[in-house]
Each structure stands twice: as C-alpha cells, then as structure tokens.
Amino acid sequence: MVQEEEGFQQEAVVSDNQKLSGTIQITKSSLITILICTGMSMIFMNNSLLFLFFLVPLGYSVLATGSFLPTFISISAANLIYSIIVGRPFSSVELFSVLLLYTPIFLGYTWVMGGKKLKTSYRLILMSFVCAAAFLIFINNSSSRFYEYYRVIAEEVYSVIAESADESDNLRNTMYMRMLDPDNIVEMAKSIFFRGGALFTMIFLLFINRQIACSVFWIIKRKRKVKSLSEYFAPPNAIWVFLAAIISIIMMRSFKVEILEILAWNVFIICGMIFLAQGAGVFIHWLSKLSFGIKIAASIALFIFVLSPFSFIAVGALLLLGVIENWIPFRLGKSVQ
C-alpha cells in the first residue's frame, strides 16, 4: 500500500502520433520479458511451494515494461490455454469457475502494479474487493468442491485428536471436541471468509507479491520505481472509519443484522490493513536509524516472531502502532498518501 512515484519509463519507442492516441508499442525486449515472466508465473501457480508468489513475475514484468495491459493479456491467455490443453479435463462449468477466480486477480494485480489513475493504496483496496468477490463466488460454487476438501482435512485432524485422547477423560464429549467437529469447522470457515477472511486473503496476496516484485526489480535493475513503506501514511479520516466499523460490528451482532455485520467486518479488515501498513512503516522508519548489524538482527527477529505461534502479538503491535501514530507522530514531516 505504498504510493507509486509518478511516471514509469517505458522501454518502447513511441512516435508522437502514438503518444497522442495513447497506443502502447511493445518492443522485442519487452515482449521477451513478458513471455518469460508469464511462463514463470504459470510454473509458480502449479507448484505448491511457490504458489503464494505466482504474481511476483507479473509484477516484475509490469515494472520492466512500464505497462500493465500487455502482461495481463499474456497471463490470461496462458492460463486459458493451460486450463484447456495442459491442465485437468474441465467441464465448461469448472473452466468458467477457474477463469472467474484467476482473471480478476491477474487484472487487479497488474493494475495495482502499473495503473496511474488512482493512488496505489486505493487501487489495492478496490481490486481486493473485486478479487475477494470472485474468490467467494468460486469457493461457494459446487464445481470447485472447495469446502469438500476443507471438510476432508477437518475430518483427518479431528480423527487424529480423538484417537490420541485418553478415553477415560471423555474428551470426545467435551465442548473442545464439539468445536472441532468437521461440520462446525466448515461452517466457521464459511463465516470467516464472508466476514473479511476472503478480503484479507486477497489484500495479503496482492500486497506481499507487490512488495517482493518491487524488491526483485530493485535488485536486478538497481532502480526504485516506488516509495518505501516507511513513507506510507494512512488517509486522515481512516481512523474514524475504523472506529465506526468496530462499533457497527458490536451493534449489528447484538441486533443480529447479519448483512450489515458482514459489511462492517470487511470495512474493519480494510482499515486494519491500512493501519497495519502504517505501523510497519513506523517500524521500518525506526530501523533505518539503527546500525546495519542491529537492523538485520531486528528484521530477522521480527520475521521469526511473525512465523511463530505468537505472530498475532507482532501483528497486533504493528496495528496498534499504526493507530497510535494518528495522534502521536512518530515520523517527522508527515504527509498523507
């Protein structure tokens, strides 16, 4: 969620008439970059270990070529061809379901990386909503069998815990085991996905891949086309929307107005991610003032802590830090992005 610097330098040589008409000309080197990055993205998509980062090559392609549309067209076409020819035999409904999920993600991510009409944070929020809607449609479509797979995993976990329990303590009849019942787990998952879980997933996916793509571009090209996260500041009125969302969640839950509660949860997630990014910006700003050795040690410690079972403490601390900065400016020369 960082503001992009104005103006990407395109590799293509564009005539005056093409500039006036807005036509984008792709050079041979740009085309090669797009095709290589598209291929890498498809490989990442079909590798369980690299799946989380399948958008990174596309982000690099957009930064390198200066335009998001050619990359979007290339990856969309490749995904369609792979789904029809190389992938599993889909029915028409299954094929449509897969394209419905991935096409908005491709469009949203490439536009976040290369769009110029809106600020990056606004593009990220807007496209996260679109991608989350596509994700919810996909997982609730019977052809995806998403919840069937989820239930199988829940049943395996439940059986392992039940078998390991000492029958003398009647663990099977405790509230703990009832909570772990596969039916309850599936229903809980559905509730979480609608109440901001899907939105959080998409924000995380787009944001993490964007940050990694920017870092890879800087390492390879030694050029920084976006500002550091340490320069990001939340919109001035976001704190009031955040507080209103919390109050709305409590009220709508009390009055059992489910639709409005779901909406409030999604607004809460958006605002939470905004202040989480601001808190991370403060942390990075503080790190920049430390010596190189301490900076590396602190970064590694935070990374390990985030991956630990106590990661919610680190996330909560950064979120609280971002909220507090609305009243206590930790960074001088604060400017809104």
Q: Is residue 176 part of a domain?
A: no
Q: How many structural domains does the chain have?
A: 2
217 shares its domain with 251: no
For the segment 149-173, the average pLDDT, to the nearest whole number, is: 68
267 shares its domain with 209: no
Domain endpoint, select from 227, 249, 277: 227
5 shares its domain with 79: yes
Alpha helices in 47-168 (DSSP H): 56-65, 69-81, 92-114, 120-139, 146-164
Q: Is residue 159 part of a domain?
A: no
Q: pLDDT for 13-26, tens place per residue?
A: 333 333 333 445 67
Domain endpoint, select from 227, 244, 275: 227
> Rounded distance, CA 274 to CA 242, Å?
10
For the segment 44-65, the average pLDDT, to the nearest whole number, is: 93
57 shares its domain with 39: yes
Tell me the residue type at 95.
Answer: L
Q: Is residue 157 part of a domain?
A: no
Domain endpoint, select from 227, 249, 283: 227
Q: pLDDT for 217-265, tens place per residue?
A: 988 987 766 667 778 888 888 999 999 999 999 999 999 899 999 999 9
pLDDT score for 336: 44
The model's confidence at residue 75, banded by pLDDT at 50, 70 and 90, is very high
131 shares its domain with 3: yes
Greater pLDDT, 289 or 13: 289
Q: Distance of CA 134 to CAs 73, 100, 309, Å?
A: 19, 6, 30
285 shares its domain with 215: no
Phi, psi at 188, each rounded to 5°:
-65, -40
Q: Distance of CA 39 to CAs 53, 83, 105, 121, 194, Å?
A: 13, 14, 17, 28, 33
125 shares its domain with 2: yes
Tell me the residue type at 182.
Answer: P
Q: Is pLDDT above 80 for 137? A: yes
Q: Is pLDDT above 80 for 160? A: no
The model's pTM: 0.80
Q: Is residue 63 part of a domain?
A: yes
What range does the domain containing 118 cover? Answer: 1-143+193-227
Q: Is pLDDT above 80 for 34? A: yes
61 shares its domain with 76: yes
222 shares its domain with 236: no
Q: Is residue 173 part of a domain?
A: no
206 with 190: CB under 8 angstroms?
no
Q: Is residue 174 part of a domain?
A: no
222 shares its domain with 234: no
Q: Is residue 181 part of a domain?
A: no
Q: Is residue 214 part of a domain?
A: yes
